[in-house]
Structure 1
Amino acid sequence: MTLTTQQIRKLRSMAHHLKPVVMIGDKGINDNILTELDRALEHHELIKIRIAGASKDERRALSNEICQASNATLIQLIGNITILYRRSKEPKIMIK
């Protein structure tokens, strides 16, 4: 999904108060994490993910891999927090 700069800004501001709903540890990404990620994106559309125990480059690579696997859009990557957005079948967030 292609988002405009305005839409990304709006999603960033909406995500500011969110708590991470998916945590990725030292073992990385597995099928269980991808299943939980899919459920969270379908239910919330906009989520935060915490990636622990990885360098900056590893976090970026994991975030890109997650986006590819879940068909989500990377909104922001700050420190060990990644913000993702994917429109659900019944949209909950209205972005213009």
Structure 2
Amino acid sequence: MLTGKQKRFLRAEAHHLTPIFQVGKGGVNDEMTKQIREALEVRELIKVRILDNCEEDKHEVAEALAKGAHAELVQLIGLTVVLYKESRNQKKIVLPKATK
């Protein structure tokens, strides 16, 4: 679970990223979540764009992507979803420490 400070840090890191996946009319499926998991292992932080023709609610899509990819939902802004998952082998992002 990410703290508010960590989410702010990740939002700033994700600002310059371009979406590398798109969710369209077909919605979220197993193949897509598998590819997102693989991309997160390499990149740790990605953006996913929800297209206008997607028939599902954007909040449901964001939750399904996060759950399917076993990732943290950092942000849903407009139709763009930001996901984070710490990489096992290729750790690049160092999160700020959680303060108590």
TM-score in same-fold range (> 0.5): yes
Instruction: Give the secondary-structure state (helix, strand or coil) at the position aligned to 2:12.
Output: helix
> Percent same amino acid at aligned positions?
37
What is the rounded CA distance, in whole Å, between the counterparts of 2:76 and 2:14 in structure 1?
Answer: 12
The Cα of 1:84 is off from its aligned counterpart by 0.4
Matches within 5 A, 1:16-95: 16-52=15-51, 53-54=53-54, 58-90=57-89, 91-95=91-95
Moved beyond 6 Å, runs of 4+: none
Residues 21, 40 of structure 1: 8 Å contact kept:
no
How many aligned residue pairs are there? Answer: 94
Cα distance in 2 between the residues matched to 1:9 and 1:69: 23
TM-score, length-normalised on structure 1?
Answer: 0.90
Unmatched 5+ stretches in structure 1:
none
Give the letter for the 1:92 counterpart. K
Name stretches of at least 5 consecutive residues in structure 2 with no aligned partner.
none
The Cα RMSD (Å) is: 1.4
